[in-house]
Structure 1
Amino acid sequence: MTQRATTRPEPFRKPAHWSDAPPPTPRDAEEQDDPNGLSPTRYGDWVQKGIAIDF
């Protein structure tokens, strides 16, 4: 079994675009009215010409 690295290699340098700032806290989702009924992204069913389809 191969050992997993627990530290970065010695010559590693952090890229300039990396930040030490913590990630932002997520915002609550905004509720939007769905004029056609239940949201397909929430309930998983897409209706096309009266037939429920799934991707």
Structure 2
Amino acid sequence: MTERATQRPKDFVKPAHWTSDPAPRPAEPKLEPDPRGLSPTRYGDWEQNGIAVDF
């Protein structure tokens, strides 16, 4: 079995575009009113001809 590397080689040079900054937070979702009632993406069901269909 090959040993797993836990450190970079001593001659490793970090590329200029790498950063130690944390990833940005995702944008808040836009809440748009659903003209037909409950949002299928929120509740997990689509309504077709009066029948709820899971997707």
Under a length normalisation based on structure 1, what TM-score does the superposition of the two structures give?
Answer: 0.59
- 5+ residue gaps, structure 1, are none
1:27 shift after superposition: 1.8
Rg larger for: 2
- 5+ residue gaps, structure 2, are none
Report the RMSD for the aligned CA atoms in angstroms.
2.8
Q: How high is the sequence identity, in percent, across the aligned residues? A: 59
Taking the aligned partners of 1:40 and 1:51, their CA distance within structure 2 comes to 13
Matched residues, number: 52
Taking the aligned partners of 2:37 and 2:3, their CA distance within structure 1 comes to 53
Under a length normalisation based on structure 2, what TM-score does the superposition of the two structures give?
Answer: 0.59
Give 4+ residue runs of structure 1 displaced > 3 Å after superposition.
2-8, 12-16
Q: Where do residues 36-55 of structure 1 align in structure 2 (5 Å cutoff)?
A: 36-55=36-55
